[in-house]
Structure 1
Amino acid sequence: MASAAGIMEAALLVAAALLLVLGGGAEALSLDLYEERCPEAEAAVTAAVRQAMAKDRTVAAGLLRMHFHDCFVRGCDGSVLLDSTASVTAEKDGPPNVSLHAFYVIDNAKAALEALCPGVVSCADILALAARDAVALSGGPSWVVHVGRRDGRVSLAAETSTLPGPRASFEQLKQAFHARGLSTKDLVVLSGGHTLGFAHCSSFQDRIHPDKAQQQDPSLSPSFAASLRRACPANNTARAAGSGLDATSAAFDNTYYRMLQGGRGLLASDEALLTHPKTRAWVALYAASQEAFFRAFAKSMLRMGGLNGGDEVRANCRRVNQ
């Protein structure tokens, strides 16, 4: 396993290289935008994330998933943070996002930053920084976050239908990533974010309790399927029931890939990574080398974080400026 210093050095090299290759909105991003205007910006975000994680081990997965869902709809513009209004149902209330949580962590970080340097740090940047900190504080890699994103003024629940779902096929996943300028390798790498977190029974129920016309998903290990049936009995209605996305769901590591190779991938969209020779090879690489996964994850997060965003710096992450 790589040392923390080695991982950070690799992340710095990745960051420098990506300054040259990232396109679109990433051209406006900077490594030192807040150095003079808000030098304590990153420390304030890290403090908010650290405090929340000390009380709730699910916060890390929540923040990482929130950042992903933000960037995949309108770019990394903090639109997922906006509350619904009387006339508009916002992204956070769209079907794929109703289970998102830990919004309060972003609120706390924003409040601290508005006290330090009002009107300077965008909510989108706070979310990007918080996702990085959530990974690092869970034992994963760190990376240098490019900042300067702007917050969007539009958030529509209907647009969340474009988010890849837990039953997505390989072709559907590939198309979703390619449409956003991300590669098939990014798909495999960012799917490794499923090393953190939890899935409700409804996300995989059909794999373990098929209807009479189907058989249990043959890609699942029989013993793993049996354990899932114990956690999620047929016709289960318990809202809190489900399973960790991997066996170490509070730690950022490469267990996800090792479980996937052993027929213990929880979601159909996870299993889809084994249906193509190229993606199978990447799964095998990251299952064998956590160091390779960490390096690739930092790079892919930088690529995703460079997707185009909005046009203002909100004073409150839950509502647009007036």
Structure 2
Amino acid sequence: MALRRLVVVVVVAAVAASCRQGLAFPAMSALPGLPVAGLAVGFYNATCPQVEELVLAEMRDIVQRDWTLGPALLRFMFHDCLVRGCDASIMLISRNRTGEQDAAPSYGLRGYDEIEQIKAKVEEECPMTVSCADIIAMAARDAVYLSQGPRYPVETGRRDGKVSVMCDANNDLPPPFSNIVDLKTYFSVKGLGWKDLVVLSGSHTIGRAQCSTFAADRLYNFSGSGGQDPSLNKTYAASLREACEAGLQNDNTTVYMDTSSPSTFDLGYYRDVYSNTSLFLSDQALMHDRWTSAYVERMAAAASPDEFFSDYAVAMTNMGRIEVLTGDNGEIRKTCGAHVD
């Protein structure tokens, strides 16, 4: 088993490297928690001082129209930052269908139109000034805030990338069936530690997921056994089977990731993981490591979300520093959804 995991990691790393031909050298912290040159809270204070309030106003309009777009836009930042870094490459469109948007992990990803809506409003006030990458980061923060979570400071100063490749997204995003060893490997490659992993996983406290992302592994064919994951709470599993049809490969039926408070950014996710009622194998995998399981247990028993909120601000800042383009690297685009071919 250990050998198989090693082979998987090596193969993934080799394939991911092969996708990176021609990639500009990004700015990146050498260790989690260290600042990145070119990023700063208030980067636009002189050039577009109202940008954060513009983004927040648009986000209020978006989530009032459909609250599920808040969690969707939080997920959007993960898909941007974990693939080629936080450079808005997820917004780039490939006519040949070989871009990040066309990758398997991007199936069901929502938020493209909403990022364009926010960008258009910002362009009206501050033409060719604010990057799409920074808008994605601010929108994710406000998605958390508008779900009763913290409105943490967001570093800005990113510039937008010009490359979007399908295989990067296929290789760099951890699948929902990942075990704890694989999860820690995916995160460590990006300069993130175990605490970033367990804290950022708390994002699953809001929003929904499609049955196709978990049903086979959790309900109907766990580890190829043809049965249910034995660690999954049986009552919860029965309710999931009512929603998710067996054998339906692209089942886009959605269920809440946190059944007790799906629209509130709170500690419900950790209570679900601790009680074996989390949705994904990758969620339950947090209980298979000494450090991540201890954090889950502490948050599940916490009377206040303050520690989680503080940790979340740090972890999102760390993720927001991954492979960023700053200074003269990258570009500022008028429209985020430019074509790459």
TM-score if structure 1 supplies the norm length? 0.89
Which residue of structure 2 aligns with residue 317 of structure 1? 336
- Whole-angstrom CA distance in 2 between matches of 1:174 and 1:219: 21
Q: For residue 37 of structure 2, give the secondary structure of its aligned residue in structure 1.
A: helix
Which residue of structure 2 aligns with residue 193 of structure 1? 203
**Pick aligned residue for 2:321 from 294, 306, 313:** 306
**Pick aligned residue for 2:159 from 146, 150, 163:** 150
Which residue of structure 1 aligns with residue 230 of structure 2? 218
Which residue of structure 1 aligns with residue 3 of structure 2? none
- Whole-angstrom CA distance in 2 between matches of 1:216 and 1:32: 49
Contact 1:138 1:251 in 2 (8 A): yes
1:151-300 maps to which residues of 2 (within 5 A)?
Answer: 151-161=160-170, 162-206=172-216, 207-210=218-221, 213-236=225-248, 239-247=251-259, 248-289=261-302, 290-300=305-315
- Whole-angstrom CA distance in 1 between matches of 2:32 and 2:177: 32
Unmatched tracts of structure 1, length 5 or more: 1-17
1:87-126 maps to which residues of 2 (within 5 A)?
Answer: 89-126=98-135
1:51 equivalent to 2:57? Answer no
1:77-88 maps to which residues of 2 (within 5 A)?
Answer: 77-86=87-96
Unmatched tracts of structure 2, length 5 or more: 1-28
CA deviation vs aligned residue, 1:59-116 (integer Å, no higher than 9, x gap): 1111111101100011100101112224x62211211012111212211111111111
Contact 1:91 1:158 in 2 (8 A): yes
1:139 equivalent to 2:148? Answer yes
Distance apart, 1:23 and its partner CA: 4.0
Q: For residue 209 of structure 2, give the secondary structure of its aligned residue in structure 1.
A: strand
- Identity over the aligned pairs, expressed in percent? 41
Q: For residue 203 of structure 2, give the secondary structure of its aligned residue in structure 1.
A: helix
TM-score if structure 2 supplies the norm length? 0.84
Cα distance change, pair 112–242 in 1 and its aligned pair in 2 (3 A): closer
- Whole-angstrom CA distance in 2 between matches of 1:189 and 1:143: 14
- Whole-angstrom CA distance in 2 between matches of 1:178 and 1:79: 21
- Whole-angstrom CA distance in 1 between matches of 2:340 and 2:183: 35
Distance apart, 1:236 and its partner CA: 3.9
Alignment: residue pair count: 302
- Whole-angstrom CA distance in 1 between matches of 2:121 and 2:89: 20
